[in-house]
Amino acid sequence: MEALFSDDAELRFMLAFESALAAAQASVGDIPASAAETIQGCCAETDWDITWLKTQTLLAGNPAIPFVDQLRQRVRQKDPEAAPFVHRGATSQDVIDTALVCQLSQALTTIRADLDELINLLTSLKQVHQHTPIMGRTLLQQALPITFSDKLTGWLSGLFRSAERLDRVSQECLVVQLGGPVGNGQSFGEHYTSICEQVAATLGLGFTTTSWHTQRDRLTDLASTLGILNGSLGKLANDIILLMQTEVGEVREGAAKGKGGSSSMPHKRNPVTSTFMVAIAHRTPGLVASLLSAMNQPHERAAGAWHSEWSVIRELVKLTAANLHHSNDLIRTLEVDTDRMQQNLTTQP
């Protein structure tokens, strides 16, 4: 995820957008085919000065402005007549939002695969412990006997719903951004719909001719889905922490050299992986709230609210990926003490 959301990767997706845009415009006759070929050739180059782009971003307010300037200069050096066709009709937010959606598309594919792995691990564990008795607990007190499978079923139910949500937002929310300076697409001329459709298809994104420059519900929908998933993972981890308590001792995180120790109490075996997961689950709601707050964007382009999303959505995706990584490690190596479960059943008040 760090690589996917790096400056290098963002630049690569911005170049992919400009290449796809030029190709689409050439295909409908809006720009010369030779100009599109030159633009695409420059977009395929790899020797870009990212340090300069970062410096100029602080002056321009976003990375697209210096990026387009640098791309146009490269095109001009190869074919002066092609330079005016670079980024034709588009605006900075088109390239930045579309690059972000490309990153999110790849990220959600990985997150979905990791979630599938977790679901499979829990399903296998559920089959093993279908009839393993354990004390059910309500309000942190012993209640009535259940099976360990019952507890696993509860964890799985939330994760199944998160998988369905991820599938839905991947279908509905990962759409191209192409609206032009004021978002109405008029700058692209009569072939606007065809251009949008072709750019989306080239980049593997959903197709829409209604720009979402200041309509951020799709992005917030995606963020909320990730927030809910982290909440479910945090609940799972919190249950593990409680089951690991010395007085309960019904499960343990997998042992590893140096894992779970204490600097002052060598007899302790602390929950480590679960603690990471709970910590992430506590952090992510605030990130989702930030994106909900950023939905309040004025008119056709926001000053500040849009910019506030950039680091927040990236952090949320990275944390979600980390949480799933920890979750799979936790369940893959989980130690289940069925004898202790039985003992706690027989010693209930």
Which residues does the annotation mark as catalytic? 262, 301
79-106 b/e with 16+ CB inside 10 Å = b? beebbebbbbbbbbbbbbbbbbbbbbbb
Q: Helix, strand or coil for residue 341?
A: helix
Task: Give the helix/strand (H/E) hosting 145.
Answer: strand 141-147
Closest by CA to 72, choosing from 87, 57, 56, is 87
| Joined tokens for residue 349 | 């008040």
Burial (CB < 10 A; 0-12, 13-18, 19+), residue 164, is exposed
Residue 10: how many other CB atoms lie within 10 Å: 22
User: What angle in degrees, to the nearest 10, is found between the helix axes of 305-332 and 217-243?
Assistant: 30
Q: Helix, strand or coil for residue 139?
A: coil
Q: How far apart are CA 66 and CA 83, in angstroms?
A: 15
CB 232 within 8 A of CB 159: yes
| Region at 86 (left for phi over 0; alpha for psi -120 to 50; beta for the rest) | beta
Q: Helix, strand or coil for residue 54?
A: helix
Q: How far apart are CA 52 and CA 177, in angstroms?
A: 26
Q: How many residues does the chain have?
A: 349
